[in-house]
Structure 1
Amino acid sequence: MYRLYYYPCNASLAPHFMLKHLSVPYELVLVDRKSDAQKSAEYLKMNPAGRIPTLMDGDLALFESPAICLYLAEQHTEAGLAPLPGSLERAKFLQWLMYLTNTLQADYMVYCYPAKHTKDAGGAKAVEAAHSERVAADLKILDQALEDRTYLVGDTVTVCDYFLLMLCIWASDMPTPPQSFPHLGAYLKRMAGQNTVREVCEKEGISLTAFSDLRVSHLP
């Protein structure tokens, strides 16, 4: 059985979507960020980076959210969550996954933690403003890509869609939020209507109301 070490609305969200989609046996283990449990000696034995998530599969301890998602997709190829190696769709799949992790997520993290990216005591606001614009530009590229597509790659949900949804949930309260883009907004509404997404978000206490008319029950 898979064991996913997670925290609500953290980088563990995309792997959680994956596990739910796959309908495989798995256990969720809460890592309490409020008490820095991810920095405990016990957790660091599994994940020396001291971050969330970690996936345990037997003796295998795997960290980094996109790596976990790819691993799960390749362990369950019958689910079609990643195109087959060597195909044209695989090339586009890798392109978008790297764009999401290396561009959109990277820019968003600077926006969230601007003080870590300047030694100027008064410069954090400028860093935040600049990266708000960068994230908006990143989202515009995704909006254009989704103009005539149901999903980011191919005709069915892939790792890229679950990863993009996670990032858009995080960014939903930005000055230029993802749901404000016409094609990306319509895409997010479709994704928010899927049972897998609704059930995982309900479990983690995440509201989807920014993306659709659906309401997730039992929210704090």
Structure 2
Amino acid sequence: MFKLYYYPNNASLAPHFLLHHLNANYELLLVDKKSNSQKSTEYLRLNPAGRIPTLVIGEQPIFESPAICMHLCELYPESGLMPKIGDPKRPLFYQWLAFLNNTLQAELMVRYYPHRHTNDEATIPNVVAAQDERIADALSIINDQLEHNKYLLGENLTACDYFLFMLAEWSLPIKKSPLEFKYLARYLKGLCDNPTIQAVCAIEEMDITPFKN
């Protein structure tokens, strides 16, 4: 049995999608961010970074959302959620997952936590404005990739698509949201028909109707 330490609409969302898609035997354990439970002594034993998510497999805890996603894909190679070794799309899987995590997600974190990136509160509006532009640039790259592709890597759904849906949801309040990009908006609307996305978003009480319009 897997144990996923999660918080709704947090970085645990992508691993939650994968666990559901894989029909894995898993338990959800809420980490209450409102009470700062991710910084508790008990949780820090599992995840010294004090962030969400953590996946426990047996006695082995793993943290960092993309690492969890890759490990789940490797545990279930028959799922097709990651191209097989030797498949020319395998390096593209790593490329896009790294881009989503290291570029889009990183820019979103600065956008939503600007106080962590300046020692002068007067500059926070400038940080936010700059991040809106950088996030739009990242979304534009993804939009171009989707012009001729059903999914991020082509015709087949992978873990990258679940990871992207998570980040797209976080990007909705940005000045130029994902829905303003033609191909990205079309792609996200299509993903709303995915039964795993529907089920997990219902569990986490997330509203995906903005993507359907």
Structures share fold, TM-score greater than 0.5? yes
Per-residue CA deviation, residues 140-194 of structure 1 (Å, 9 max, x unaligned), is 0100000010000132211110110000011112111111110000000011111
Mapping for residues 153-172 of structure 1, pairs under 5 Å: 153-172=153-172
Q: Which SS does the other structure have where 2:211 is aligned?
A: coil
Q: Which SS does the other structure have where 1:107 is aligned?
A: helix
Code of the residue aligned with 1:80 in structure 2: it is G
Pair 1:152-2:152 in alignment? yes
Match of 2:97 in 1: 97
Code of the residue aligned with 2:69 in structure 1: it is C
Q: Which runs of 5+ in 1 are unaligned?
A: 214-220
Code of the residue aligned with 2:62 in structure 1: it is L
Match of 1:194 in 2: 194
Per-residue CA deviation, residues 104-142 of structure 1 (Å, 9 max, x unaligned), is 111111111112111223101001100100000110010
Mapping for residues 99-118 of structure 1, pairs under 5 Å: 99-118=99-118
What TM-score do the two structures reach when normalised by structure 1? 0.95
Match of 2:8 in 1: 8
- In structure 2, C-alpha distance between the alignment counterparts of 1:173 and 1:17, rounded to whole Å: 22
- In structure 1, C-alpha distance between the alignment counterparts of 2:157 and 2:3, rounded to whole Å: 23
Do the aligned partners of 1:115 and 1:123 also contact (CA within 8 Å) in 2? Answer: no
Structure 1 segments of 4+ aligned residues over 6 angstroms from their partners: none
Do the aligned partners of 1:192 and 1:211 also contact (CA within 8 Å) in 2? Answer: yes
Code of the residue aligned with 1:79 in structure 2: it is S
Per-residue CA deviation, residues 177-219 of structure 1 (Å, 9 max, x unaligned), is 1111100000000111111000000000100011015xxxxxx
Per-residue CA deviation, residues 9-65 of structure 1 (Å, 9 max, x unaligned), is 000000000000001111101111111111111111111111110001101100000
Tell me the percent identity.
50
- In structure 2, C-alpha distance between the alignment counterparts of 1:154 and 1:72, rounded to whole Å: 21
Do the aligned partners of 1:193 and 1:212 also contact (CA within 8 Å) in 2? Answer: no
TM superposition shift of 1:88: 1.4
- In structure 2, C-alpha distance between the alignment counterparts of 1:11 and 1:136, rounded to whole Å: 20
Match of 1:123 in 2: 123
Q: Which SS does the other structure have where 2:61 is aligned?
A: strand
Q: How many residues in Structure 1 have an aligned counterpart in Structure 2?
A: 213
- In structure 2, C-alpha distance between the alignment counterparts of 1:154 and 1:59, rounded to whole Å: 36
TM superposition shift of 1:87: 2.4
Q: Which runs of 5+ in 2 are unaligned?
A: none
Do the aligned partners of 1:100 and 1:164 also contact (CA within 8 Å) in 2? Answer: yes
